[in-house]
Amino acid sequence: MIFDSLEKADRYTPLHPLFKQAFDFLRDPAVRALGTGRVELDAGGRIWANVQSYRTQPLEEGRYETHRKYIDIQCLLSGEEAIVYTPSEAALRVVVPYSDTQDIAFQAAAPGTPVRLQPGVFALLFPGEPHMPGRSLCADAPCEVRKVVVKIAAERGGAWDIKR
């Protein structure tokens, strides 16, 4: 996982050929006016965004998610939330097995490292990195958030390609 400000995002563009396009999209002020739902960023399905609006939930109601085909870049447009991260899914109990069509598996909540996501910063999560987004920072204070998750195809055979 990489956690940094959008101002410094260009330092990560050498890691993947589509990162520049993703960060340019996230920095574009027009993103704030988008409605919720999927936004295609190329015709080949290699990069797209999901604009979301929701209320954060308590940590104990969460579960980790992992992906195999896509890299996530999560960035808030408004509000704030915690994303809980743990470096390995091997020690986590699977509660919903991996779905190849949806590119997601869910694991039971377990101790991890929370990071504070707020507008102007991003969390970049590679395939196989368990993360629990949408968590409240305070148990008694859920927050309304608007978020963009850019999904970027991991290169087959590349450094981020997870063996199936």
DSSP for 6-34, written as a single string: GGGGGGGGGG-TTHHHHHHHHH-GGGGGP
Domains and CATH numbers, the chain: 2-153 (2.60.120.370)
Give the least confident one: 28-37, 108-117, 135-144: 135-144
Tell me: the pLDDT tens digits for 46-87? 999 999 999 999 988 899 999 999 999 999 999 999 999 998
Residue 147 sits at the vertex; the CA angle it makes with 21 and 112, to the nearest 5 degrees, is 100
Residue 100 CA to residue 19 CA, distance in Å, equals 23
114-156 residue pLDDT tens: 999 999 999 999 999 999 999 998 767 889 999 999 999 997 6
Find all residues with CB under 8 Å of 54, minimum gap 6, and list them: 134, 144, 145, 147
Mean pLDDT of 87-115: 92
Q: What pLDDT score does 164 carry?
A: 40
CA-based Rg of the chain, rounded to a whole angstrom?
15
- Find the helix or strand (DSSP H, E) in which 54 lies: strand 47-55
What's the pLDDT score for residue 134? 96
Average pLDDT, the chain: 92
